[in-house]
Amino acid sequence: MNFRAIAAIYKFEMARTFRSIFQSVISPVVSTSLYFVVFGAAIGSRIETVEGIQYGAFIVPGLMMLQMLMQSVTNAALGIYFPKFVGTVYEVLSAPISVPEILLGYVGAAATKAMMIGLIILGTAGLFVDLQIAHPVAMIAFMLLTCISFSLFGFIIGIWAGNFEQLNLIPMLVITPLVFLGGAFYSISMLPEAWQTIALFNPVVYLVSGFRWAFFSMSDVAVGYSLLAIAAFLAFCIATITWIFRTGWKLRV
Amino acid sequence: MAPIISVNNLTKTYDNGFQALKGVDLDIEEGEVLALLGPNGAGKTTLISIICGIANKSEGSVTVGGYDITRDFRKARELIGLVPQEMSVEVFEKVISTVKFSRGLFGKKQDDAKIEQILRDLTLWDKKDNRIRELSGGMKRRVMIAKALSHEPRVLFLDEPTAGVDVELRKEMWDVMRALKKSGVTIILTTHYIEEAEAMADRVGVISNGELLLIEDTDTLMKSMGKKVLKIELDEPVTEVPPALAEKGVVLSPTGTLDYTYDTAAQQTGITDVLADLRAAGLKLADLSTRQSSLEDIFVGLVTDQKTGENAA
Ligand SMILES: Nc1ncnc2c1ncn2[C@@H]1O[C@H](COP(=O)(O)OP(=O)(O)OP(=O)(O)O)[C@@H](O)[C@H]1O
Ligand SMILES: [Mg+2]
């Protein structure tokens, strides 16, 4: 293992984050606060509780999930896309490092940043609502698994993307709708029956549900299924990436 | 001594079906400076990219320091530093951190003294805390060299190191290369400037159309294939070459001299005859000089030969 190379990439990527730490942190904090105002205050005054939980608190796991997914995907995607775009990727390709090492560096940094932002949102949320976390270890575990697998997913997008439009396409067109339809702001059980069935095909439902269980010990689907879903997604991303690097697709000509 | 780089029957076909390398064989000796010449699109960058691990080869094999670039890619790549043709730098990074990043990437322990030495040698030490976007083009190029040297490679690839740089900077680059050669680093450079190859290289390789047409010691090449030009300056310039001289291939140059090109390796150069004809034509000599033809002439000749050969086939 070329640990120094992994550390070099990781530090480089983290430095990129900290260079723009203000933008990195301020935007999720502001948008989260906005969600609280709109969903928490406006809607919350009518719904009040969902399955016995105060609505403001109920949406916290979903909000964190939304931001962590977005951050993981966009950061990891940009992390590899940018060197490709400006040409500096030559150095990584010519260095004595293997695929898993490149991944550990880039994906590790993107996941770290997404974790940090998730925790910052948790802190921000704590200012608005009274939060109790039933299973803190499970919460952290879910956060980690989510950040890692979606950073991997973002890395794939960054390799695939041929231009900046494509880079933004997936987060905008796929992640956001999946999270909104995935029960971030409501319980699946509130949907009409037909939609409940359809919702079960949305992978984010399992993430949000499992994550919510970590907070409130209640969930739309059994926690076991949530874990299974995220493990499957992780495996899918790892398999795709292995294939990409084995064939040299889009990185090595 | 075993060659530091050995390329065997290397081919490369890009995804679009274009064959950029058609079976290249090349051995590079440790410590030498090898210049690769060739027209645009010849395959120079493709060859370098494969050796350095940026592009995948199609067929054939390459070893660096005895290590196969695919099987022992770590050991092979550790030995190599690359300065690519395209200027590509992380503009927001500081000079020193980008060089340290490179060293880390190649798995070497950080060594502040070493990094300082490299930056000083490239006269970048004063700029070490500047962001790269604050540097001039020539400085950026030197940063790329510093990055390539950060892990103390034994082989350095310079893909058109002096393309688009001014004369002064080119001389500066040459000094850098000479110092590196002195320290024992093997250098492979590509260039379009023949004078650069003549000035720097121990050996010259000519690539065209994905084939290595020739590889030869620079001196031998100059001697064996070199032609000389005899420049005859007349007391009273003429407007037309006398028929007897024209028959022997003497031409009137734009500067008004009569030029006779001859082969130094030929049995008879024909100089005596030319001079006799001059006398017979009643022309008086003011001055005589000879000029060795440059690599450029040789190189243009080779590439044209290849083209005509292809057309004939
Ligand atoms: N990624 C690619 N896909 C398809 N063809 C390519 C690719 N890269 C290079 N080529 C083709 O391969 C040939 C060799 O290109 P290469 O860059 O190796 O030339 P070169 O000798 O370095 O030229 P130059 O002196 O202009 O730098 C060219 O015809 C080029 O169009
Ligand atoms: Mg080139």
| Domains defined along chain B, listed by start | 5-219 (3.40.50.300), 227-292 (no CATH)
CA distances from residue A30 to A25, A88, A116, A138 in whole angstroms, order as listed: 9, 33, 15, 27
3-state secondary structure of B69: coil
The pLDDT tens digits for A4-52 are 999 999 999 999 888 888 877 788 888 888 887 887 677 767 777 777 7
In degrees, rounded to 5, the angle at the alpha carbon of residue A11 between the alpha carbons of residues A7 and A16 is: 155
Which whole number is the average pLDDT over B188-204? 89
Under DSSP, the state recorded for B130 is: S
Under DSSP, the state recorded for B304 is: H
Gap between the terminal Cα atoms of chain B = 40
Q: Whole-prediction pTM value?
A: 0.83
pLDDT reading at A248 higher than 70: no
Nearest CA to ligand 1 atom 26: B40
pLDDT band, very low/low/confident/very high, at A182 (cuts 50, 70, 90): confident
Which uninterrupted H or E stretch holds B153? none
B94 vs B156: CA distance, rounded Å: 23
Nearest to B52 among A5, A83, A94 (CB): A94
How many whole angstroms from B41 Cα to the centroid of ligand 1?
5
**Among the listed ranges B133-137, B143-147, B278-282, which one has the minimum average pLDDT value?**
B278-282
Nearest to B105 among A8, A19, A98 (CB): A8
The pLDDT tens digits for A106-134 are 999 999 999 999 999 998 888 888 888 99
Where helices occur in B106-215 by DSSP H, the ranges are 112-121, 137-149, 167-182, 194-200
B193 vs A26: CA distance, rounded Å: 52
Which whole number is the average pLDDT over A88-107? 91
Q: Which of residues 2-21 of A touch B (CB under 8 A)?
A: 2-5, 7-9, 11-12, 15-16, 19
Q: Is B108 on the interface with A (CB under 8 A)?
A: yes
Contact A57, A131 (CB under 8 A): yes
Q: Which of B11, B13, B14 to mutate to test the pocket of ligand 1 (most atoms within 8 A of CB)?
A: B14
State whether B102 and A91 contact (CB < 8 Å). yes
How many whole angstroms from B47 Cα to the centroid of ligand 2?
9
- Smallest CA–CA separation between A91 and chain B, in Å? 8
A204 vs A171: CA distance, rounded Å: 13
Mutate one of B70, B105, B141 to test the A interface: name it (highest A CB count within 10 A): B105
In degrees, rounded to 5, the angle at the alpha carbon of residue A203 between the alpha carbons of residues A202 and A207 is: 125
**Among the listed ranges A49-53, A69-73, A101-105, which one has the minimum average pLDDT value?**
A49-53
B186 vs B157: CA distance, rounded Å: 9
A221 vs A212: CA distance, rounded Å: 10
- Smallest CA–CA separation between A70 and chain B, in Å? 24
B196 vs B164: CA distance, rounded Å: 13
A223 vs A200: CA distance, rounded Å: 14
3-state secondary structure of B19: strand
Which whole number is the average pLDDT over B3-19? 96
Under DSSP, the state recorded for B177 is: H
Dihedrals φ, ψ of B11, to 5°?
-125, 155
Contact B230, B293 (CB under 8 A): no
pLDDT reading at A190 higher than 90: no
HEC string of chain A equals: CCHHHHHHHHHHHHHHHHHCHHHHHHHHHHHHHHHHHHHHHHHHHHHCEECCEEHHHHCHHHHHHHHHHHHHHHHHHHHHHHHHHHCCHHHHHHCCCCHHHHHHHHHHHHHHHHHHHHHHHHHHHHHHCCCCCCCHHHHHHHHHHHHHHHHHHHHHHHHHCCCHHHHHHHHHHHHHHHHHCCCCCCCHHHCCHHHHHHHCCCHHHHHHHHHHHHHHCCCCCCHHHHHHHHHHHHHHHHHHHHHHHHHCCCCCC
Q: Which residues of B70-80 are buried (b: 16+ CB within 10 A; e: fewer)?
A: eebbeebbbbb
Q: Which residue of A has its CA nearest to B84?
A: A90
The pLDDT of residue B78 is 96
The finding on whether B40 has its CB within 6 A of some atom of ligand 1 is yes
State whether A2 and B75 contact (CB < 8 Å). no
Residue holding tokens 């940063």? Answer: B143
B82 vs B116: CA distance, rounded Å: 20
ipTM computed for the complex: 0.85
Residues counted in chain A: 253
The finding on whether B12 has its CB within 6 A of some atom of ligand 1 is no
Q: Which residues contact B67 (CB under 8 A, 6 or more apart)?
A: B75, B76, B79
Residue holding tokens 């320290």? Answer: B183
Q: Which residues of A169-205 are buried (b: 16+ CB within 10 A; e: fewer)?
A: ebbeeebeebbebbbbbbbbeebeeeeeeebeebbbb
Task: Return the percentage of chain B with pLDDT > 90, whole number.
Answer: 52
More confidently predicted of B116 and B267: B116
Task: Starting at the earlier edge strand, list the strands of the sheet with B186-191.
Answer: B80-83, B155-159, B186-191, B33-37, B203-208, B211-217
A143 vs A148: CA distance, rounded Å: 8
**Among the listed ranges A190-199, B41-50, B202-211, which one has the minimum average pLDDT value?**
A190-199
Residue numbers in A near B101 (CB within 8 A): 8, 11-12
Q: Is A94 on the interface with B (CB under 8 A)?
A: yes
The pLDDT tens digits for B34-88 are 999 988 899 999 999 999 999 999 999 999 999 999 999 999 999 999 999 988 8
3-state secondary structure of B303: helix
B175 vs B161: CA distance, rounded Å: 12
The pLDDT of residue B296 is 64
The pLDDT of residue B156 is 97
- Smallest CA–CA separation between B37 and chain A, in Å? 22
The finding on whether B38 has its CB within 6 A of some atom of ligand 1 is yes
The pLDDT tens digits for A152-174 are 999 999 988 888 888 888 888 88
Nearest to A253 among B55, B86, B147 (CB): B55
Sequence ranges of the domains in chain A: 3-247
Nearest to B82 among A94, A96, A97 (CB): A94
Reading the block at residue B245, the tokens are 């001289």
The pLDDT of residue B297 is 67
Nearest CA to ligand 1 atom 17: B45
Under DSSP, the state recorded for B131 is: B
Q: Is A177 on the interface with B (CB under 8 A)?
A: no
The pLDDT of residue A160 is 87
Under DSSP, the state recorded for B258 is: E
Mutate one of A88, A101, A250 to test the B interface: name it (highest B CB count within 10 A): A88
Q: Is A253 on the interface with B (CB under 8 A)?
A: yes
In degrees, rounded to 5, the angle at the alpha carbon of residue B30 between the alpha carbons of residues B146 and B77 is: 50
Nearest CA to ligand 1 atom 22: B45
Q: Closest ligand 1 atom, CA of B12?
A: 12
Cα–chain-centroid distance for residue A194? 28
Residue numbers in B near A7 (CB within 8 A): 104
A19 vs B90: CA distance, rounded Å: 13
- The closest ligand to the CA of A250 turns out to be 1
pLDDT reading at B293 higher than 70: no
Q: Which residues contact B299 (CB under 8 A, 6 or more apart)?
A: B37, B194, B206
Nearest Cα to B53, choosing from B69, B32, B35? B69
Cβ atoms < 10 Å from Cβ of B62: 22
Cβ atoms < 10 Å from Cβ of B267: 5
Q: What is the mean pLDDT of chain A?
A: 87
